[in-house]
Amino acid sequence: MFSSVRSALVTALFLLSVQPIVMGVPLGDETKPPAINQPANQLAAADQLYRSGKFADAETSYRALLKTGAKLVPA
């Protein structure tokens, strides 16, 4: 009985240690925020500049976004 419990515990601990590697996350990088929404955040910042009347700054932000992704339609 103890060997099956020990075996299950070892298996669970192994799976927990392997999970980040299997999911494509290198160990030690779990705390970094994902960079997926970075253009969305930059677009929101550019929109805020535009709404506040800072048109030259907004234009600079929109142009920078278009350089990173020329097909970014909202920019």
pLDDT in tens, 9-33: 667 666 666 555 555 555 555 565 5
**Domain assignment of residue 67, given as a range:** 33-75
| pLDDT tier, 53 (very low <50, low <70, confident <90, very high otherwise) | very high
Same-domain check for residues 41 and 58: yes
**What's the structural domain count of the chain?**
2
Torsion of CA 61, 65, 70, 71, to 10 degrees: -110
The b-or-e profile of 18-36 (16+ CB within 10 A means b, else e) is eeeeeeeeeeeeeeeeeee
